[in-house]
A and B are shown apart, each in its own frame.
Chain A
């Protein structure tokens, strides 16, 4: 009996070891993509990845972190290509020579969401800066992502245009330090306001969803870019794979796919492709 148990154990160990080892040594060339959690949460990449892998034969590993972390990893050559939406930080990144090239891919927009009762009365307003001022004035709670993500950076920028230069000092301003989904949950639970990207908000819409209170302000456009990492940063950077991914995203057929994503599920598209626009 003891021998039976021992041999089963041994078999299990060998089986699992071989399984894991084989997955490491698959012969496909690997591409490391760093992107943001909100991008991953939107589900767009789940659609695009299989097509890319089939077309190119590459195996793509997608690491979803905050924009700040993604750019940091890019600067060390720990990843091969970035898909991020943090314009100023990206320009700094390129300025320092960390990126090989940078292109528009698509954009979506941010929206302001909050409690149905709307104590700050921003529903009728179209100007986001005015809305933020009213939120501050009413002392209503505002949840910030506080995680150096693209959303967070944009949010801080918007606050800088308001009368409140640094909302961190205000007691109604709270940082969640987490991704968009978790932040939306906290916002709903505490009856607060927050700045969200449309995609995550759409994906999370349930029974008692947070109503959309403000949209369409030009300042709320959220532009996504694909940046190939400078191969000189590290020997192992897969510049060819990165270029292939960039070309893939900019391809007209894929651009069309991007534009159609979301219509079936949410009734509206989540992203607007804009690769044809020249980068300024």
Chain B
């Protein structure tokens, strides 16, 4: 039995199709992350899954039961807990916020009390029990939202970019705490994020979305190795080069499938070297830009007009200067080839 299944799901908004998912299954206890650029439909898919958005066509099942419209839907919704980008706390004390949702779930009085105390202390905000929402910082408010979510003992937890509005330090703290809770509660989770690293930490499986469809699904390593479409590559931060714009260096030193129209290069495959050992093809390029992103560094190299991205350790970022010349080599295994917007697997 699967926790949640989606079959031929389609959602239209003002005559435009914003979501099209032919098939998706989420296993019980699985943690799935939805990734993608803005407007890719990931939040839409999450809201559909949480029964908060109506579908134009298709069917879903929840733990084997079909999902129907009407009053039953609200009861089925009570199997879930949702944490949104904003804490969206009600205008009452922190403990009453949690009390309210527990009352909706018909939890009796004493049980409510113990759950409130339990979850507030697990999230380290017991001292804020009587505080009002406007007295809380962003991080504290989001902790309340998380406590509120867990207190209902949901069978599926939906998180829609829960840390996007927080500063990096709070984000790191809170996401660490959340991961600990998810590990101990073992609840099926659907997380929407645009942060690759976060998805890696949180989930077993990752789905990358684009234009309302799931473009790639699997573990992040699998997808990194075989990105199914150029758009997925692009989202992962790979360099995309059109075949007709390919510098000669590549054509001379690597073999490409004939039908290939587009190539992506994983930054991990572009290595900066100090000495030419003659093993791999080497060339030089000027440093166009230096970036620090998601815990690692990126050198943007200007090579014959193409901006090639190379991944370097974060600590080494300071070793380089914009405009200087460096030697680099490219690993053939880290390149992917595409034809008609689909990867060519040889």
User: Does a CB–CB distance below 8 Å link A and B in the complex?
Assistant: no
Task: Give the B-binding residues of A (Cβ under 8 A).
Answer: none
Task: Give the A-binding residues of B (Cβ under 8 A).
Answer: none
